[in-house]
Amino acid sequence: MLLTYLLIQIGYTFWLKNLIIFDVLIIAGGFILRVYAGAFAINVHMNVWFLLCVISLALFLAVGKRRAELAFLQETASQHRKTLSFYSNDLLDSYLSMFANSTWLVYALFTFFAPPPIVGTAPLLAKLPLTVAGISKWLMATVPFVIYGIMRYLSIVYQGERAESPEKVILSDWPLLATIVLWGLAVVFILYGIKV
């Protein structure tokens, strides 16, 4: 995985960053390889729906980065990055819309088809009748957090400069950070339960 990641980064640095669409695919590919590396490290099989979530989110973040650069740099965009001269606002808006929708929709499908947690659900949730064929669907309760997070990130993308670095956005935007923390707490509560 490290060798693949290194080769992709070298290819991006010297060639692929100048090819429209490939520049975005390579950025997204880096995110995906990191997830695969984590799965290999802990020896876990990745659910296909989870993998599709990662792919959609990675493409959404990569296109958002390009759209933010275009919005911020405007007339000087092509001097900053060669491929920005080939992207139009409308094209990037279409890509953003496509990947924003696929991200939350695939996440919703992932939560619907996720197997029941091995460790059991929280005692309170186990007593409530929100099951279909004996399989808990409580992870679906986290979908609104994902939808809000995507909508919040989109609003930041259109502000320009702030979205050039997704990790800085996540760590500096309090509403987005709070959404991620609440989502994480909800997932932990649903999967591992809180003994009451």
Q: What ranges do the domains of the chain cover?
A: 2-192
DSSP string, 97-136: HHHHHHHHHHHHHHHHHPPPPTT---HHHHHSS-EETTEE
Q: What is the per-residue pLDDT across 141-187, written as a single tens digit (0 to 9) for each?
A: 999 999 999 999 999 888 766 666 777 888 889 999 999 999 999 98
Structure confidence at residue 164 (pLDDT) = 66
- C-alpha dist (Å) from residue 123 to 117, 119, 120, 140, 190: 13, 12, 8, 18, 10
Residue 12: count other Cβ atoms within 10 Å of its Cβ.
19
Structure confidence at residue 189 (pLDDT) = 85
Using DSSP's 3-state secondary structure scheme, residue 15 falls into coil
Question: Which portions of the chain are predicted below pLDDT 50?
Answer: 119, 121, 129-135, 195-196
Are the C-beta atoms of 7 and 13 separated by less than 8 Å? no
Residue 101 to residue 99: CA distance in whole angstroms: 5
Structure confidence at residue 75 (pLDDT) = 67
Closest CA to 82 of 71, 66, 94, 95: 66
